[in-house]
Chain A
Amino acid sequence: MNPQAISETWVYLSASPLIGLTLTLLAYQFAFWLYQRSGHRAWANPVLIAILLITLFLWATQTPYTRYFEGAQFVHFLLGPATVALAVPLFAQWKRLRRMALPLIVALLAGSATAAVSAMFIAKALGATSATVLSLAPKSVTTPIAMGVAEKIGGIASLTAVLVIITGIVGAMGFPSLFRWLGIRDHATQGFSVGLAAHGLGTARAFMFSEEMGAFSALAMGLNGLLTALLLPILLPLLKPLLL
């Protein structure tokens, strides 16, 4: 092909959703392969590496993010059915969950408040702008809920989406070491904690350890999503004088 034909082909392809979709799947498969080759090391987090590869590609080819998303939205859309599908592992663990209802509710309230409030106060203390502080508040809950909450409380929804995903990567990478250090070995406890603080990405890694850990993580993610969506818009005005 002569250079003109190549550039015409590129112009055609870059306008279709094919590139964004293929790029997402290839980057993930490569990153996942690397993660397995590394022996499931935390630094080889597949989401982090895939995002780095994609942003590098988009930057190198001068492709705007919105163009990329036209293709990648087909993957993004599956977050909805995947959230619904979490009902299946929840049901499988229901007997254990019900027995632990009271401890789970108390831990949920304590953990949820800690994650949201500490993020806002630390960011504020270190000089973040108020838009950033507000965008941080819902960062522990799953992307669609967090974006909705951010909009409602005056944050920037698309910034929140990114903060949510960085949070998920941090939690998924860090929880095995944290719980080893704290001496928490119970899979139910580990799963519930990581799902609460690091939503779907924590849940994805929890499922790699055991179905029990994954189910408790899914439960915590759902409950913290509900709690945050209901309470944060109501409680935030009370905290605002301290934060802004």
Chain B
Amino acid sequence: MIHALSLLLIYQLAGELIVRAFALPIPGPVIGMALLFLTLLARGRVGEDLRNGASALLQHLSLLFIPAGAGVMLHLQRIESEWLPITVALIVSTFAGMAVTGLVLRTMIRRAADKLTHETERDQA
């Protein structure tokens, strides 16, 4: 666990350093994730300690959003005066985003699968 946490922090730190050095508009942890992913690809496997550490952290991922979410109390006034546009925009756009992604992905996957069957049929013919 300590080993996994140290590893994650080192990658996050490396991510932060790269972001500063190149003035990237992306947060350090995202670069850290990309670096760790590339490392795993190069090594071809995940160590047991890292696997357990990562799953322990990700199992309760929702907990980590609570402190920022409680910040809602700073904005009660704005939310009260603009509750209608905020509520409708958040609900509709989130559902629309999920529906469009899901439908586009399903169509694309089906098309790819159809093409594959056509090619197999043609090869067999």
Chain A residues within 8 Å of B, Cβ to Cβ: 20, 24-25, 27-28, 46-47, 50-51, 54-55, 58-59, 65, 68-69, 72-73, 75-76, 78-92, 94, 100, 102-104, 106-108, 110-112, 114-116, 118-120, 122-129, 132, 136, 139-140, 143-145, 148-149, 152, 158-159, 161-168, 170-172, 174-175, 178-179, 182, 184, 186, 189-190, 192-194, 196-198, 200-201, 203-205, 207, 214, 220, 222, 225-226, 229-230, 233
In the complex, the answer to whether B66 meets A51 with C-beta atoms within 8 Å is: yes
14 contacts between A and B (CB under 8 A): A55-B70, A59-B73, A87-B33, A94-B41, A123-B85, A136-B86, A152-B25, A172-B62, A192-B102, A196-B98, A197-B94, A204-B61, A225-B30, A229-B26
**How near does chain B come to A199, taking the closest CB pair, in angstroms?**
9
In the complex, the answer to whether A84 meets B100 with C-beta atoms within 8 Å is: no
Residue of B nearest to A54 (CB): B70
Instruction: Answer whether A27 and B66 are a contact pair too, CB < 8 Å, given A184-B106, A226-B30.
Output: yes
Instruction: Answer whether A75 and B99 are a contact pair too, CB < 8 Å, given A81-B57, A170-B94.
Output: no
Residue of B nearest to A59 (CB): B73
B97 CB contact (under 8 Å) in A51, A84, A114, A144: A114
**How near does chain B come to A193, taking the closest CB pair, in angstroms?**
4
In the complex, the answer to whether A184 meets B82 with C-beta atoms within 8 Å is: no
Chain B residues within 8 Å of A, Cβ to Cβ: 5, 8-9, 11-12, 15, 25-30, 32-34, 36-37, 40-41, 46, 50-51, 53-55, 57-75, 78-79, 82, 84-86, 88-106, 108-109, 112
In the complex, the answer to whether B72 meets A51 with C-beta atoms within 8 Å is: yes
Residue of B nearest to A75 (CB): B67
**How near does chain A come to B13, taking the closest CB pair, in angstroms?**
9
In the complex, the answer to whether B105 meets A128 with C-beta atoms within 8 Å is: no
In the complex, the answer to whether B101 meets A107 with C-beta atoms within 8 Å is: yes
**How near does chain A come to B117, taking the closest CB pair, in angstroms?**
15
Chain A residue numbers with a CB within 8 Å of B72 are: 51, 55, 162, 165-166
